Amino acid sequence: MEYSPEIFLSHIAQTTGSPFLISIERAEGVYLYGPDGKKYMDLISGIGVSNIGHGHPKVIKAITDQVHKHLHVMVFGEYIQRTPNLLAKKLNTLLPSSLDCSYFVNSGTEANEGALKLAKRYTGRTEIISCRKSYHGSTHGSLSVSGNEVKKQKFRPLLPDVRFIEFNNPEDLLAITERTACVIMETIQGDAGVRIPSKTYMKAVRKRCDETGTLLILDEIQCGMGRTGTLFAFEQFDIVPDILTLAKAFGGGLPIGAFISSKKIMQVFTENPALGHITTFGGNPVCCASALATLEVIEEEKLLHQVESKGKLIQKLLTHPKIKEVRRAGLMFAFDFDSPETVNNIVNYTKEHGVICYWFLSHPNSFRIAPPLTITEEEITVACKVIVDAIEQS
C-alpha cells in the first residue's frame, strides 16, 4: 500500500503522462534502494541535488542536532537564529567580498524571483534580458525569463518587458541598454543540454552590464556547489555577478535556495516598501543546518579536487560511434544522439539495469549524467558499462 502506483497516479498530482515510476524506500551514497531490495545507482543526483551523495552522515547529524533544538520559529528576517547566521558567515568566507549579503528562500525558482525583484527595485528599470534555451524555474516570473516557449505558451500573459538574446553570442550584447534592469543567465546552461560559454563571452557580458548600469544575475542552481569543479561555476570565468542564485545541491537534500548580493543592493528591500521580499519558511533552521554541513563536507573531503579526473574517466569510458556529441563541465554531462527515441531507449534500459540516467526538459536528443561528486572510480566503471550496453541495444 505504501508504494502503491495506483495511489501515486490517482492522488498525487502528475507532471507528465509517463512518470519514472520506480519505488524508493531509502537512499545512501550514490544508491537508491527500492522496497523490494532493488538497487539503483543515481547518476543524476536527484536532478542536481545530491552532490555529496544521499544521506551523508555529517548532514544527517547536523539536521538531527537542529531538530532537537527547534524547527521554524518565525518568518524570515525577524529572529536571530544560530544556523542561518553560521551559514551566512560561511558563504561570506567562500564568495567575493561584493557578495556579502544572503537572502535564504525555499527553492531555486524563488531565488530567481527574488533576484529579479531586487534588480528592478534597485535600478528602477523594468526591462529584463535573458537567454534563449534557458531554464530558471516554473513560477510565473522565472518562467517568464526561461527560454522554452513550449513550456510557456499555455500560461501567458507572463511578465512583461522581457527580451531574449542568444547565449554565447557577443553580437547580441548590444541589446543590453540603459533601460535594462538585469541580465539573468545560467553560468552554464543546464536544461539546454550543458551549454558552456567562452570566457571571452562572459567577460563581455560583465563589461556590457557595467557600461549600462545593468545588474548581472548568474543562476547557479544547477551548475553550482562544486558540480563543475569549482564551488561556484563563475569562478572559472574570472567575473563576479551582482546577484548569485543557488538552490538544489545547496541544501544537501533539503529544500533551500538563496539569492546573494551586496549589502548595498539588498538594502533596498527594507523600505519603500518594507518587506520588499518576504517568505515564511526562508532561512528554515533545519535546512540551513543541512546547507552548512554540505559546504563543510565539500571542503573537508576535498571533493572539488576529484571532479575533473572523475569527469574525464566518464568521458573516456563512454565513447561510442552512436554518440554525436559530448558536452561536459566537470561532472555535468550531455550526450547527444540522433533522436529522442534513441535517448528513451537508453534511459529505460539503464533504469531496468540499475543505473539512473535522465532526459533534458528542453533538449530531447540528449541524456544527462550528473552523479554525486562522491562517486568512486569503481562505481563509475560499473555504471558506464551499463550505459555502453544500453547504447549498443538502442
| SS3 label, residue 156 | coil
Distance between CA atoms of residues 102 and 57, nearest Å: 26
Structure confidence at residue 1 (pLDDT): 75
According to DSSP, residue 42 is labeled E
Whether 74 and 211 map to the same domain: the answer is: yes
Whether 45 and 174 map to the same domain: the answer is: no
In this prediction, residue 46 has a pLDDT band, given cuts at 50, 70 and 90, of very high
Structure confidence at residue 42 (pLDDT): 98
| End-of-domain residue from the set 300, 335, 356 | 300
In this prediction, residue 255 has a pLDDT band, given cuts at 50, 70 and 90, of very high
Using a pLDDT cut of 70, give the percent of the chain over it: 100
Whether 333 and 362 map to the same domain: the answer is: yes
Tallying the residues shown for the chain, one arrives at: 394
Whether 356 and 269 map to the same domain: the answer is: no
Q: Has residue 381 got a pLDDT over 90?
A: yes
Q: What is the pLDDT of residues 224-247, one digit of tens each?
A: 999 999 999 999 999 999 999 999
Instruction: Give me the mean pLDDT over the 364-385 stretch.
Output: 97
Distance between CA atoms of residues 17 and 1, nearest Å: 22
| End-of-domain residue from the set 300, 327, 342 | 300
Whether 191 and 317 map to the same domain: the answer is: no
Whether 248 and 373 map to the same domain: the answer is: no
Burial 285-303, CB ≥16 within 10 A → b, else e: bbbbbbbbbbbbbbeeeeb
Instruction: Give me the mean pLDDT over the 247-252 stretch.
Output: 98
In this prediction, residue 374 has a pLDDT band, given cuts at 50, 70 and 90, of very high
| Least reliable range by pLDDT among 2-6, 157-161, 174-178, 333-337 | 2-6
Whether 47 and 62 map to the same domain: the answer is: no
Average pLDDT, the chain: 97
Number of structural domains found in the chain: 2
Q: Has residue 370 got a pLDDT over 80?
A: yes
Structure confidence at residue 212 (pLDDT): 98
* Domain span holding position 24: 5-55+302-393
Whether 306 and 296 map to the same domain: the answer is: no
Give the CATH number for residue 40. Answer: 3.90.1150.10
Structure confidence at residue 69 (pLDDT): 98
| SS3 label, residue 162 | strand
Q: Which of 245, 236, 247, 250 is nearest to 298 (CA)?
A: 250
Q: Has residue 336 got a pLDDT over 80?
A: yes
Instruction: Give me the mean pLDDT over the 184-200 stretch.
Output: 98
Give the CATH number for residue 229. Answer: 3.40.640.10
Structure confidence at residue 174 (pLDDT): 98
C-alpha cell belonging to residue 1 = 500500500
Q: Is the model's pTM score more than 0.95? A: yes
Using a pLDDT cut of 90, give the percent of the chain over it: 98
According to DSSP, residue 40 is labeled E
Q: Has residue 73 got a pLDDT over 80?
A: yes
Structure confidence at residue 317 (pLDDT): 98
In this prediction, residue 361 has a pLDDT band, given cuts at 50, 70 and 90, of confident
Distance between CA atoms of residues 99 and 12, nearest Å: 39
Structure confidence at residue 198 (pLDDT): 98
Whether 78 and 63 map to the same domain: the answer is: yes
Q: Has residue 61 got a pLDDT over 90?
A: yes
Whether 312 and 278 map to the same domain: the answer is: no
Structure confidence at residue 142 (pLDDT): 98
Whether 261 and 213 map to the same domain: the answer is: yes
Whether 288 and 375 map to the same domain: the answer is: no
Contact 266, 102 (CB under 8 A): no
3-state secondary structure 166-234: CCCCHHHHHHCCCCEEEEEEECCECCCCCECCCHHHHHHHHHHHHHHCCEEEEECCCCCCCCCCCCCHH
| End-of-domain residue from the set 254, 276, 300 | 300
